[in-house]
Structure 1
Amino acid sequence: MHQLYKYDIYIFDCDGVILDSNKLKILAMKDALESIENIKDGIDSSIEYFTNNFGLSRYHHVNEFSSKFLSYYGLSKIELEKTILNNYADFLDKHYVKSEVIAGFEQIASTVNGLMYVASGSEQNQLRRVLEKKNISICFKGIFGSPTKKYEIIRNVLDEVGENKKAVMIGDSIADLDAAKANHIDFIGISDYSNTPDLLREKCTLYGYRVINNWHEIGTKVYG
């Protein structure tokens, strides 16, 4: 039996794990920044940071942009961040639902026996709307996103179900790995859609976590 099937609780990231949406999110953030005429410099650095630190909330990223990378004029830091967040949300409201469900996920969702949750860096209400429109929200006992931090979401889920349950976080980013590690649960990395696949594999190897390329490997790899 594949190692995936031994858990009571399954906590999934969304982007790059359930939905093929990582590239869309990067495009959305680039569009959000480039739409603001008051920004003079720092967009490329912001997008690089966003890409390499995927899995953290938009609120974290935008604060990092305005604090460390962006040069702008005529707007306060609060005004700038609000404008970026609004532009980003508007773009995703139009396009996020178009993201495809990653091949193999629905088969996995139908075969695991434990309770399933989503813990994502995506904004919670927007995330719930998209998964509902995709007709897969019914798979999950709970769907949670930002502004609550991912490690806090996992902590809340564990508090709800009881700590005697065996739980796993499945994600494609270092933020996902860190959130699992902070809560002392297992982690499985999935690399095909990750923005940082080599780093993900390196960190999984370092901490003794499993890595798969994609959901189709579940049917072909067996762990003792």
Structure 2
Amino acid sequence: MINFSNYSCLLWDFDGVLMDSMPVRDEGFKHVLAPYPQDQVAKLLTYHRINGGLSRYVKFRYFFEEIRKEPVTEEQVQAMAADFSTVMKRLLLNEQLLINDSLDFVRRRYRDIPMHIVSGSDGVELNMICRSLNLAQYFVSIHGSPTPKTQLVKEVLVAHTYDPARTVLIGDSINDYQAATANDIDFIGYNNAEFDHNGYNYIRSFSTVS
């Protein structure tokens, strides 16, 4: 059993960990990339699902540079990201998407241990969603893209002088694991069976956590 009393700080991914938002984000990519061939969009969606911790900015660049094999400007990426954000703000303000298993734990323990969100989602959009759904009160700070997650974790550690040896990142993607290991903090997988039984610390339900 994982015992969080060993930690002095908890860092949380958002999509797939605190909110079941990945299917909604699929719809965002489909909307923005509707003018392009469906088989290419399908490849982007596969990349998106595998790399949940990466930002939409990275994913749009990947779509053009790796899938379509053509250049894309920063202005184009920003415009697509803004279009994507408009869709997200409309669809994600939905309490039914919240993952109560993890959020019940957050609500029980946020006074005992400082918690932060470090997400691949757009930071401005994420803060708005968390405020609108009354989640912001549980977190010391909420951070998102376009800053890469590895850098976000580093900035939180430095800003609050947290001990990496007593800090853990809870996530559902390989990008979360990579951000944790790059900063010499622990990683715990959640809501992704790929992390279960594969040598990772893993939580199947927060109801079993002390």
TM-score, length basis structure 2: 0.88
Q: Deviations over 1:25-66 (max 9, x none)?
A: 1221122211xx3x2461111111111111101111111111
Shift in CA distance, 179/71, structure 1 to aligned 2, threshold 3 Å? closer
Matching residue of 2:53: 55
Segments of 5+ residues of structure 1 without an aligned counterpart are: 220-224
Residue identity matched to 1:50 = H
Matching residue of 2:186: 186
The answer (yes or no) to whether the contact 1:18–1:105 under 8 Å persists in 2 is yes
In the alignment, is residue 201 of structure 1 matched against residue 196 of structure 2? yes
Q: Deviations over 1:76-126 (max 9, x none)?
A: 722653443233112102111115221223321133321110000000000
In the alignment, is residue 210 of structure 1 matched against residue 206 of structure 2? no
2:94 aligns with one of 91, 98, 102: 98
Structure 2 counterpart SS, 1:81: helix
Q: Give, in whole Å, the separation in 1 of the partners of 2:89 and 2:152.
A: 23
Q: Deviations over 1:115-165 (max 9, x none)?
A: 110000000000000011110101111100001111111111111222436
Q: Give, in whole Å, the separation in 1 of the partners of 2:190 and 2:8.
A: 19
The answer (yes or no) to whether the contact 1:46–1:70 under 8 Å persists in 2 is no
Paired residues for 1:25-174 under 5 Å: 25-34=25-34, 37=35, 39-40=36-37, 42-70=40-68, 77-78=72-73, 80-98=76-94, 100-112=97-109, 113-164=112-163, 166-174=166-174
Structure 1 residue 218: deviation in Å? 2.2
Higher-Rg member (1/2): 1
Residue identity matched to 2:90 = K
Q: Give, in whole Å, the separation in 2 of the partners of 1:217 and 1:23.
A: 27
Structure 1 residue 70: deviation in Å? 2.8
Structure 1 residue 71: deviation in Å? 6.9
**What is the aligned residue count?**
204
The answer (yes or no) to whether the contact 2:53–2:175 under 8 Å persists in 1 is yes
Matching residue of 1:222: none
Segments of 5+ residues of structure 2 without an aligned counterpart are: none
Residue identity matched to 2:7 = Y
TM-score, length basis structure 1: 0.83
Coordinate RMSD, CA, aligned: 2.2
Identity across the alignment (%)? 26
Structure 1 residue 177: deviation in Å? 0.7
